[in-house]
Chains A and B, each alone.
Chain A
Protein backbone atom coordinates (compact mmCIF):
# COMPACT_ATOMS: atom_id res chain seq x y z
CA UNK A 1 0.00 0.00 0.00
CA UNK A 2 1.29 3.46 -0.79
CA UNK A 3 2.42 5.51 2.14
CA UNK A 4 -0.56 7.75 2.83
CA UNK A 5 0.92 9.34 5.92
CA UNK A 6 0.57 13.12 5.76
CA UNK A 7 0.19 16.25 7.87
CA UNK A 8 -3.14 17.99 8.51
CA UNK A 9 -2.39 20.98 10.68
CA UNK A 10 -0.45 19.48 13.58
CA UNK A 11 -2.27 16.15 13.54
CA UNK A 12 -0.71 13.40 11.47
CA UNK A 13 -3.31 11.31 9.69
CA UNK A 14 -2.94 7.87 8.19
CA UNK A 15 -5.11 5.51 6.22
CA UNK A 16 -5.94 2.03 7.43
CA UNK A 17 -8.07 -0.79 6.00
CA UNK A 18 -10.67 -2.51 8.12
CA UNK A 19 -11.98 -5.85 6.85
CA UNK A 20 -15.58 -6.61 7.76
CA UNK A 21 -16.94 -10.03 8.71
CA UNK A 22 -20.27 -11.64 9.49
CA UNK A 23 -23.18 -9.21 9.49
CA UNK A 24 -20.83 -6.26 8.88
CA UNK A 25 -19.48 -7.68 5.61
CA UNK A 26 -22.25 -6.52 3.31
CA UNK A 27 -22.41 -2.97 4.69
CA UNK A 28 -19.42 -1.85 2.62
CA UNK A 29 -18.12 -2.59 -0.86
CA UNK A 30 -16.08 -5.79 -1.00
CA UNK A 31 -16.22 -6.01 2.79
CA UNK A 32 -13.42 -3.48 3.31
CA UNK A 33 -13.64 0.02 4.78
CA UNK A 34 -10.83 2.56 4.29
CA UNK A 35 -10.57 4.82 7.30
CA UNK A 36 -8.45 7.90 7.88
CA UNK A 37 -7.26 7.97 11.47
CA UNK A 38 -5.22 10.42 13.56
CA UNK A 39 -1.84 9.45 14.97
CA UNK A 40 -1.93 7.56 18.28
CA UNK A 41 -5.58 6.64 17.91
CA UNK A 42 -6.38 3.67 20.14
CA UNK A 43 -8.46 0.63 19.32
CA UNK A 44 -11.39 1.95 21.32
CA UNK A 45 -11.06 5.27 19.48
CA UNK A 46 -11.19 3.45 16.16
CA UNK A 47 -14.33 1.60 17.25
CA UNK A 48 -16.00 4.95 17.97
CA UNK A 49 -14.91 6.23 14.58
CA UNK A 50 -16.21 3.09 12.88
CA UNK A 51 -19.50 3.49 14.71
CA UNK A 52 -19.88 6.99 13.29
CA UNK A 53 -19.22 5.75 9.77
CA UNK A 54 -21.17 2.48 9.83
CA UNK A 55 -24.25 3.87 11.55
CA UNK A 56 -24.89 6.17 8.58
CA UNK A 57 -25.14 3.21 6.20
CA UNK A 58 -28.41 1.43 5.38
CA UNK A 59 -28.63 -1.73 7.45
CA UNK A 60 -31.15 -4.34 8.57
CA UNK A 61 -29.68 -4.55 12.09
CA UNK A 62 -28.63 -2.32 14.98
CA UNK A 63 -25.06 -1.45 13.95
CA UNK A 64 -24.23 0.36 17.19
CA UNK A 65 -25.33 -2.56 19.37
CA UNK A 66 -23.41 -5.11 17.28
CA UNK A 67 -20.33 -2.90 17.25
CA UNK A 68 -20.37 -2.65 21.03
CA UNK A 69 -20.08 -6.47 21.17
CA UNK A 70 -17.35 -6.62 18.52
CA UNK A 71 -13.56 -6.56 18.67
CA UNK A 72 -10.75 -5.47 16.37
CA UNK A 73 -8.00 -7.90 15.46
CA UNK A 74 -4.99 -8.34 13.23
CA UNK A 75 -4.07 -11.65 11.63
CA UNK A 76 -2.64 -13.12 14.82
CA UNK A 77 -4.53 -11.69 17.79
CA UNK A 78 -7.39 -9.64 19.16
CA UNK A 79 -6.22 -6.11 19.95
CA UNK A 80 -6.73 -4.68 23.45
CA UNK A 81 -8.78 -1.47 23.70
CA UNK A 82 -5.85 0.77 24.62
CA UNK A 83 -3.43 -0.41 21.92
CA UNK A 84 -2.46 2.28 19.41
CA UNK A 85 -3.34 1.93 15.74
CA UNK A 86 -0.32 2.15 13.43
CA UNK A 87 0.03 3.50 9.93
CA UNK A 88 -0.87 1.10 7.11
CA UNK A 89 -2.36 -1.48 9.45
CA UNK A 90 -4.96 -3.82 8.06
CA UNK A 91 -7.40 -4.79 10.77
CA UNK A 92 -10.52 -6.90 10.99
CA UNK A 93 -13.79 -6.03 12.72
CA UNK A 94 -15.10 -9.21 14.34
CA UNK A 95 -18.70 -9.41 15.59
CA UNK A 96 -19.76 -12.19 18.02
CA UNK A 97 -18.82 -15.56 16.54
CA UNK A 98 -21.03 -18.55 15.70
CA UNK A 99 -18.85 -21.28 14.23
CA UNK A 100 -19.15 -25.01 14.78
Chain B
Protein backbone atom coordinates (compact mmCIF):
# COMPACT_ATOMS: atom_id res chain seq x y z
CA UNK B 1 0.00 0.00 0.00
CA UNK B 2 2.89 2.31 0.93
CA UNK B 3 4.08 2.80 -2.67
CA UNK B 4 0.66 4.23 -3.56
CA UNK B 5 0.99 6.98 -0.96
CA UNK B 6 3.11 10.08 -1.43
CA UNK B 7 3.16 12.49 1.52
CA UNK B 8 5.40 15.48 2.17
CA UNK B 9 5.67 18.54 4.39
CA UNK B 10 7.70 21.35 2.89
CA UNK B 11 8.87 24.93 3.33
CA UNK B 12 9.06 25.35 -0.45
CA UNK B 13 6.23 26.36 -2.78
CA UNK B 14 4.03 23.43 -3.77
CA UNK B 15 4.40 22.74 -7.49
CA UNK B 16 0.84 21.72 -8.21
CA UNK B 17 1.60 21.02 -11.87
CA UNK B 18 3.72 18.03 -10.80
CA UNK B 19 0.95 16.28 -8.89
CA UNK B 20 -0.88 14.66 -11.86
CA UNK B 21 2.32 12.82 -12.79
CA UNK B 22 2.24 11.15 -9.35
CA UNK B 23 -1.16 9.63 -10.17
CA UNK B 24 -0.42 7.36 -13.10
CA UNK B 25 -2.28 4.09 -12.72
CA UNK B 26 -3.88 2.84 -15.96
CA UNK B 27 -6.75 1.16 -14.09
CA UNK B 28 -7.83 4.46 -12.55
CA UNK B 29 -10.66 6.29 -14.27
CA UNK B 30 -10.82 9.24 -11.87
CA UNK B 31 -8.33 11.78 -10.58
CA UNK B 32 -9.35 14.44 -8.06
CA UNK B 33 -7.15 17.38 -7.03
CA UNK B 34 -7.80 19.68 -4.09
CA UNK B 35 -5.72 22.76 -3.35
CA UNK B 36 -6.12 24.80 -0.17
CA UNK B 37 -5.18 28.42 -0.87
CA UNK B 38 -4.41 31.31 1.50
CA UNK B 39 -7.25 33.84 1.29
CA UNK B 40 -7.19 37.55 2.07
CA UNK B 41 -10.02 37.69 4.62
CA UNK B 42 -11.08 35.63 7.63
CA UNK B 43 -13.96 36.38 9.98
CA UNK B 44 -14.20 39.91 8.60
CA UNK B 45 -10.52 40.74 9.08
CA UNK B 46 -8.10 41.61 6.28
CA UNK B 47 -5.33 39.01 6.21
CA UNK B 48 -1.96 39.92 4.69
CA UNK B 49 -0.07 36.68 5.27
CA UNK B 50 -0.22 33.42 7.24
CA UNK B 51 2.35 31.21 8.91
CA UNK B 52 2.14 27.46 9.53
CA UNK B 53 3.88 25.76 12.46
CA UNK B 54 4.12 21.95 12.61
CA UNK B 55 5.45 19.09 14.71
CA UNK B 56 7.01 17.50 11.65
CA UNK B 57 7.79 13.92 12.82
CA UNK B 58 4.23 13.38 14.01
CA UNK B 59 2.77 15.11 10.93
CA UNK B 60 4.59 12.60 8.74
CA UNK B 61 3.19 9.70 10.75
CA UNK B 62 -0.30 11.21 10.78
CA UNK B 63 -0.35 11.92 7.03
CA UNK B 64 0.48 8.29 6.31
CA UNK B 65 -2.20 7.11 8.76
CA UNK B 66 -4.80 9.38 7.15
CA UNK B 67 -3.96 8.07 3.69
CA UNK B 68 -4.02 4.46 4.89
CA UNK B 69 -7.39 5.11 6.54
CA UNK B 70 -8.72 6.55 3.25
CA UNK B 71 -7.50 3.49 1.40
CA UNK B 72 -9.10 1.24 4.01
CA UNK B 73 -12.41 3.06 3.61
CA UNK B 74 -12.53 3.65 -0.18
CA UNK B 75 -9.86 1.35 -1.58
CA UNK B 76 -8.04 -0.83 -1.96
CA UNK B 77 -5.90 0.52 -4.72
CA UNK B 78 -6.26 4.28 -4.26
CA UNK B 79 -3.26 6.35 -5.26
CA UNK B 80 -2.83 9.28 -2.89
CA UNK B 81 -0.75 12.45 -2.80
CA UNK B 82 -0.74 14.74 0.22
CA UNK B 83 1.59 17.75 0.49
CA UNK B 84 1.40 20.48 3.14
CA UNK B 85 3.34 23.72 3.23
CA UNK B 86 4.82 25.22 6.42
CA UNK B 87 6.44 28.59 7.15
CA UNK B 88 5.29 31.98 5.86
CA UNK B 89 2.80 32.03 2.96
CA UNK B 90 1.45 34.92 0.93
CA UNK B 91 -2.16 35.42 -0.15
CA UNK B 92 -2.97 33.08 -3.05
CA UNK B 93 -0.26 30.54 -2.31
CA UNK B 94 -1.19 26.86 -1.99
CA UNK B 95 -0.99 25.63 1.60
CA UNK B 96 -2.13 22.06 1.02
CA UNK B 97 -2.43 19.86 -2.05
CA UNK B 98 -4.27 16.55 -2.26
CA UNK B 99 -4.43 14.20 -5.21
CA UNK B 100 -6.52 11.04 -5.35
CA UNK B 101 -6.52 8.45 -8.11
CA UNK B 102 -9.28 5.82 -8.03
CA UNK B 103 -11.11 3.43 -10.31
CA UNK B 104 -14.32 5.50 -10.12
CA UNK B 105 -15.16 9.14 -9.32
CA UNK B 106 -17.26 8.44 -6.23
CA UNK B 107 -14.43 7.01 -4.14
CA UNK B 108 -12.04 9.65 -5.49
CA UNK B 109 -14.32 12.53 -4.40
CA UNK B 110 -15.04 10.98 -1.01
CA UNK B 111 -11.44 10.07 -0.24
CA UNK B 112 -10.33 13.59 -1.13
CA UNK B 113 -12.89 15.11 1.23
CA UNK B 114 -11.97 12.62 3.96
CA UNK B 115 -8.28 13.51 3.68
CA UNK B 116 -8.70 17.29 3.95
CA UNK B 117 -11.15 17.02 6.85
CA UNK B 118 -8.80 14.65 8.68
CA UNK B 119 -5.80 16.91 8.10
CA UNK B 120 -7.76 19.67 9.81
CA UNK B 121 -8.69 17.53 12.81
CA UNK B 122 -5.69 15.17 13.22
CA UNK B 123 -2.47 16.67 11.86
CA UNK B 124 -0.32 18.65 14.36
CA UNK B 125 -0.19 21.82 12.26
CA UNK B 126 -1.09 25.33 13.43
CA UNK B 127 -1.99 28.43 11.42
CA UNK B 128 -1.22 31.97 12.50
CA UNK B 129 -2.81 34.87 10.64
CA UNK B 130 -1.22 38.29 10.25
CA UNK B 131 -3.73 41.11 9.79
CA UNK B 132 -3.66 44.44 8.00
CA UNK B 133 -4.02 46.28 11.33
CA UNK B 134 -0.76 44.76 12.61
CA UNK B 135 -2.35 42.19 14.90
CA UNK B 136 -1.74 38.44 14.75
CA UNK B 137 -3.75 35.45 15.91
CA UNK B 138 -3.33 31.68 16.16
CA UNK B 139 -6.56 30.23 14.79
CA UNK B 140 -8.88 28.20 16.98
CA UNK B 141 -8.77 24.58 15.97
CA UNK B 142 -9.59 20.99 16.76
CA UNK B 143 -8.37 19.38 19.98
CA UNK B 144 -6.35 16.23 19.25
CA UNK B 145 -7.60 13.00 20.75
CA UNK B 146 -5.27 10.17 19.72
CA UNK B 147 -7.39 8.93 16.81
CA UNK B 148 -5.84 5.74 15.41
CA UNK B 149 -6.30 3.50 12.42
CA UNK B 150 -7.50 0.84 14.86
CA UNK B 151 -10.38 3.04 15.99
CA UNK B 152 -11.31 3.71 12.36
CA UNK B 153 -11.28 -0.03 11.67
CA UNK B 154 -13.59 -0.56 14.63
CA UNK B 155 -15.94 2.18 13.36
CA UNK B 156 -16.06 0.54 9.94
CA UNK B 157 -16.66 -3.01 11.19
Chain A residues proximal to chain B, CB less than 8 Å: 19, 21-23, 25, 69-71, 73-78, 80, 92, 94-100
Which chain A residues border B128 with CB–CB below 8 Å?
A: 22
20 A–B contacts, CB within 8 A, in A order = A22-B126, A25-B53, A70-B144, A74-B58, A75-B61, A76-B58, A78-B145, A94-B55, A95-B138, A96-B140, A96-B142, A97-B120, A97-B124, A97-B125, A97-B142, A98-B142, A99-B119, A99-B120, A100-B120, A100-B125
Question: Is B125 in contact with A98, judged by CB distance below 8 angstroms?
Answer: yes
Nearest CB of chain A from residue B156's CB, rounded to whole Å? 21
Instruction: Across the interface, name the chain A residue whose C-beta is closest to B139.
Output: A98
Instruction: Across the interface, name the chain B residue whose C-beta is closest to A99.
Output: B125
Interface size on B, as a range, is: 20 to 34
Question: Is A96 in contact with B96, judged by CB distance below 8 angstroms?
Answer: no
Q: Which 3 A-B pairs have the closest CB atoms?
A: A99-B125, A98-B141, A22-B126
B52 adjacent to chain A (CB < 8 Å): yes
Chain A contact surface mostly: loop
Question: Is A71 in contact with B53, judged by CB distance below 8 angstroms?
Answer: no
Which chain A residues border B142 with CB–CB below 8 Å?
A: 96-98
Question: Is A78 in contact with B126, judged by CB distance below 8 angstroms?
Answer: no
CA distance A26 to B69 in the complex (A): 34
Most buried by A among B53, B120, B127: B53
Which chain B residues border A76 with CB–CB below 8 Å?
A: 57-58, 61
Question: Is A99 in contact with B123, judged by CB distance below 8 angstroms?
Answer: yes
Question: Is B124 in contact with A92, judged by CB distance below 8 angstroms?
Answer: yes
B143 adjacent to chain A (CB < 8 Å): yes
A77 and B141 in contact, given A97-B124, A100-B119 (Cβ under 8 angstroms): no
CA distance A19 to B53 in the complex (A): 12
Question: Is A80 in contact with B125, judged by CB distance below 8 angstroms?
Answer: no
Nearest CB of chain A from residue B82's CB, rounded to whole Å? 11
Question: Is B55 in contact with A99, judged by CB distance below 8 angstroms?
Answer: no
